[in-house]
Amino acid sequence: MNSVHLAPWLLEQEARALLTRLDRVQPFALQQTMVPAAMPLPRTTAAIEQYLIDGRRRLRPQVLEFIGWISGPGRTASPAEMQRRFTLLRLGFNAALAQLDLFAEALAQRSEAQTGIWLSGLDLAAQDALRLRDNFYAPLPVICYLHRGLGGAIRRARTRLPGGGQNPVSIIRIPRERMIGFGIASSLVHEVGHQAAALLGLVESLRPVLQAEARRAPARHQAAWRLMERTISEVIADFWAVAKVGVASTLGLMGIVSLPRAFVFRMGLDDPHPFPWIRVKISCAIGDALYPDPQWRAIAALWDRLYPVDGLDENRARAIAALRSIVGPFASLLVRHRPPALRGQSLREAVVIPSREPRRLSALYQEWQAQPRLMLGAAPTLVFAVFGRARATGQLSPEQEDRLLGMLINRWALLSTPGTAVALPGSVHHPYELTTT
């Protein structure tokens, strides 16, 4: 057979092979071996499955159309044109498989006995962290999974997926080494903060305000304000975490950015994060602006002792002096900011939760010690905040936190499992019905 006749035959065969592979893509419900408590929330699973079903439905007619074309009018086309059309078709097919693998990675870990249950509990905690008292946006499905790296990440809902299409859920990646202690709350709620900021348009509304502040500032402070503007997407996620879990966010942040001195003071221009030393200072300033308490100044002073600025070169010393002078005004600007999405409310008015006030958190911990059943009905972010404050004040040891938090995360997973909540001792509420105030 000469190459002219071989091309349409071969490419038709390849297109038909694509269809056979497409038919082998089964719903996750037929593939996963997770226990019921490890399953994502039903609406999360439904959103993922519906998205993938829709993708397969779009792809099949495209393959059939190509087969019809190449076995009919396309037979007179040049082999190069046949190959061009098939290549585009296969790229779309591979993109659909890449999206399948993206969700499969997040779901496959649910088959690991303890890991899967914990991830299910964290799904519920993430949903809680995304909520505001007033309904400024519709809640979104969230799914968490683990990663070997050091940093967390989020693929936000309603963003473009590889190969096209809009992501139906928020996919949050948590580092394995952050799965207990301050780190789990800090990392999880920081990533949720990215999603909340996108839903509220916070980065877009803050950037022009910070740019104007930089123009008005004295020359010696302008670079500092420009740094705040350039890194606002990460700072606002830190802001969200402090608002939701209090000092647990700042102490968790310290854990992840406690690096060799050279990295802590490294001021890169290509990093969307503030450099570690100033990032902790910003977190403390935000905490003091939202929930005033001596703890923030104590932590900031501790950070100074852990990483003293003595011995820095003149340029870094000058930059840090300028940043020190604007951190307080910057935090005040954040809490007073009134983005259009909040319909006249300031960020402070929208996000501050009375129960997160440090003294109230300590009082709650004392109540929970006297009546442990009370913590069973607490919202996940309140638990994170209470435990973080108790750890910071020496009332709770790491070993006690590990035991209690592990028990509660398992419980959250069970509470999100249909048919199990009523069977749990003390289960008087479902987390979605809990108030966080």
State yes or no: pLDDT of 24 exceeds 70: no
Q: Half-sphere exposure (CA, 13 Å, Cβ side) for 50? A: 11
Q: Given its phi and psi angles, is residue 344 left (phi above 0), alpha (psi -120 to 50 degrees) or beta? A: left
Predicted local confidence at residue 426, as pLDDT: 45
- Cα separation, 109 vs 107, in Å, equals 5
Expressed in percent and rounded to 5, the helix, strand and coil fractions of the chain are 70, 5, 25
What span, in angstroms and rounded, lies between the C-alpha atoms of 273 and 264?
A: 12
Q: What is the pTM of this model?
A: 0.82
Of residues 373 and 107, more confidence is placed in: 373
Rg, C-alpha atoms of the chain:
26
Q: Which residues contact 435 (CB under 8 A, 6 or more apart)?
A: 379
Residue 402 near residue 387, CB atoms below 8 Å: no
Sheet hosting strand 142-147, strand order edge to edge: 142-147, 170-175, 153-155
The predicted pLDDT at position 260 comes to: 94
* DSSP 8-state secondary structure symbol assigned to residue 394: T
> 114: pLDDT confidence band, cut at 50, 70 and 90?
confident
If phi > 0 it is left, if psi is from -120 to 50 it is alpha, else beta; for residue 311 that is left
Lowest mean pLDDT among 17-21, 74-78, 198-202: 17-21
pLDDT of residue 298: 95
pLDDT > 70: what percent of the chain?
87
Please state, as a whole number, how many other Cβ atoms lie within 10 Å of the Cβ of residue 293.
17
363 or 166, which is more confident: 363
Question: Would you kindly state where each structural domain of the chain is located, as residue ranges?
Answer: 3-111, 201-351, 355-433
| CA nearest neighbour of 403 among 364, 375, 435 | 375
pLDDT at site 88: 86
Contact 75, 55 (CB under 8 A): no
Kindly state the average pLDDT of the residues 368-390.
94
């997770």: which residue's tokens? 34
| Closest C-alpha to 128, from 385, 416, 381, 429 | 381
What does the alpha-carbon distance between residue 255 and residue 258 come to, in Å, rounded to a whole number? Answer: 6
Position 34 pLDDT exceeds 70: no
What pLDDT, in 10s, does the model give residues 181-211? 667 889 999 999 999 999 999 999 999 999 9
CA neighbours closer than 13 Å in the CB half-sphere of residue 28: 27
What's the mean pLDDT in 407-422? 74
**What is residue 425's predicted lDDT score, i.e. its pLDDT?**
45
The residue among 347 and 110 whose pLDDT is bigger is: 347
- Listed range (69-83, 272-286, 316-330, 338-352) with the worst mean pLDDT: 69-83
203: closest CA among 216, 212, 217, 193? 193
- What distance in Å separates the CA atoms of residue 205 and residue 189, rounded to the nearest whole number? 21
Which of 180-194, 325-339, 420-434 bottoms out in mean pLDDT, i.e. has the lowest?
420-434
Cα separation, 256 vs 236, whole angstroms? 17
Evaluate if residue 427 carries a pLDDT over 50. Answer: no
